[in-house]
């Protein structure tokens, strides 16, 4: 597993409005939970899934989950895409999101990927029900609150990095978006 998100620590340190819990949890050095998220974007539409169980159930989201020990982040993204949507794809790095929750011990680091095409036929699984949405019809009212902020970058094919602080799991309390790093 690999990650490099010291920029998230700097971002909260330099933001006077960042909530205390976000600053404390990011500065504490607590091991971050690594996750993946894949959004298939064919140029006019995105393929999302309605999460049927577990964290984020009832929200539309891309396909993804936790990085298992011994896996690279991209291997985890491929595995989760196959497990949740029954497809494979050539993945492109789209951005990184760091989430800090007041009710979760660890910050979460979510690596977002896109793909313009895929192999297989998207199919419903135990975890997700896939559905296409046009770019003008993305169901933000039924998605995580952060999505409204970073989807525009994804749809413009612009690499993004963001830090988001949530209270009571789903209430977005604060966020910041950073310019892409020089090597991204």
Chain residues binding ligand LXYW25GO by CB under 6 A are: 35-37, 54-56, 61, 64-66, 99, 110, 144, 146-147, 166
Q: How far is the CB of 133 from ligand LXYW25GO (least distance, A)?
A: 14
Alpha helices (H) along 41-167: 73-85, 147-155
Q: How far is the CB of 143 from ligand LXYW25GO (least distance, A)?
A: 7
DSSP 122-147: ----SSEEEEEEEGGG--GGGS-TTH
Nearer to ligand LXYW25GO, 150 or 183 (CB): 150
Q: Closest CB to ligand LXYW25GO belongs to which residue?
A: 65
Q: Across-strand partners of 53?
A: none
Q: How far is the CB of 9 from ligand LXYW25GO (least distance, A)?
A: 18
Q: How far is the CB of 182 from ligand LXYW25GO (least distance, A)?
A: 26
d(CA 105, CA 66): 16
Phi and psi, residue 4, nearest 5°:
-150, 85
């Amino acid at each position: 597993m690999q990650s490099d998100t010291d920029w998230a620590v700097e971002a909260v340190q330099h933001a006077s409005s960042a909530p205390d819990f976000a600053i404390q949890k990011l500065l504490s050095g607590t091991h971050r939970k690594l996750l993946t998220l894949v959004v298939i974007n064919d140029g006019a539409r995105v393929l999302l899934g309605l999460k049927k169980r577990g964290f984020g159930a009832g929200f539309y989201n891309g396909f993804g989950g936790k990085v298992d020990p011994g896996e690279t982040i991209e291997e985890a993204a491929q595995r989760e895409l196959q497990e949740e949507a029954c497809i494979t794809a050539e993945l492109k790095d789209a951005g990184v999101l760091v989430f800090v929750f007041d009710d979760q011990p660890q910050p979460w680091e979510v690596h977002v990927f896109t793909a313009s095409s895929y192999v297989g036929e998207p199919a419903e699984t135990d975890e997700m029900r896939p559905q296409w949405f046009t770019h003008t019809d993305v169901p933000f009212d039924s998605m995580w609150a952060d999505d409204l902020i970073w989807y525009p970058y994804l749809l413009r094919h612009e690499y993004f990095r963001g830090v988001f602080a949530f209270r009571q799991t789903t209430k977005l309390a604060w966020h910041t978006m950073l310019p892409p790093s020089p090597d991204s």
